[in-house]
Amino acid sequence: MAEQPSSPGGVHAAALRSIFLIGPMGSGKSAVGRALARLGGRSFIDSDAEIERRTGVDIPLIFEKEGESGFRIREREVIDDLTQRPGVVLATGGGAVLLPENRRCLAARGIVVYLQASIEQQVERTRRGRNRPLLNDEDPRKRLTELLRVREPLYTALAQVTVTTDHRRVQAVAEHVLSELKQLGVD
């Protein structure tokens, strides 16, 4: 569910361009997104959380009942809807870039920021999570490597800004993203 924007200096969130965070599991999209929204006076939305809110079930159950393809259909509908909202920071799921329709929505409707993380960092950050059905594999490192091999070219091609999150605090990454956006003329 969207968090209400804080509007420092009276800036209205609708006047702001939306920022869409892409990147692999464990890159910090949700945490950085929340900090970025606070710093920039925007609303924060997590596409995975929105899918769960709309369906009333968690993502692992969607994967179990509908498979990855069923989940991707739901994700496509949510991405289409959420990218039309002005002045938001949207954290997408790691695989959101797989569908061409999602890539078109993201590219056309806001600024796309790729939060890049090494495999080591992804393994560390995802090892305690239970809400990652694509990692229910016996070797998460191998699976994360396979996913990144397929997805990294899509992340790179889509992003207008790329920021590495390895061994960095959330606030520092969010401030770095804002600095990069200001260089592009985005407030």
CATH number at 168 reads 3.40.50.300
In a domain, 3, yes or no: no
DSSP E strand boundaries for the chain: 19-22, 43-46, 88-91, 111-116, 161-164
Question: What pLDDT score was predicted for residue 141?
Answer: 86
In a domain, 27, yes or no: yes
* Domains identified in the chain, total number: 1
Helix (H/G/I), strand (E/B), else coil: 164: strand
In a domain, 55, yes or no: yes
In a domain, 57, yes or no: yes
In a domain, 85, yes or no: yes
In a domain, 161, yes or no: yes
144 in Cβ contact with 118 (< 8 Å): no
Q: How far apart are CA 11 and CA 20, in angstroms?
A: 20
Question: What pLDDT score was predicted for residue 4?
Answer: 42
Question: What pLDDT score was predicted for residue 132?
Answer: 58
What's the predicted TM-score (pTM) here? 0.88
In a domain, 50, yes or no: yes
Instruction: Name the residue among 138, 112, 151, 113 with its Cα closest to residue 25.
Output: 151
Please report, in tens digits, the pLDDT of each residue of the chain (187 residues total): 444 444 333 344 435 789 999 999 889 999 999 999 999 999 999 999 999 999 999 988 998 899 999 999 999 999 999 999 999 999 999 999 999 999 999 999 999 999 999 999 988 877 765 565 555 666 788 988 999 999 999 999 999 999 999 999 999 999 999 999 999 888 7
In a domain, 7, yes or no: no
Q: Which domain holds residue 150?
A: 13-183
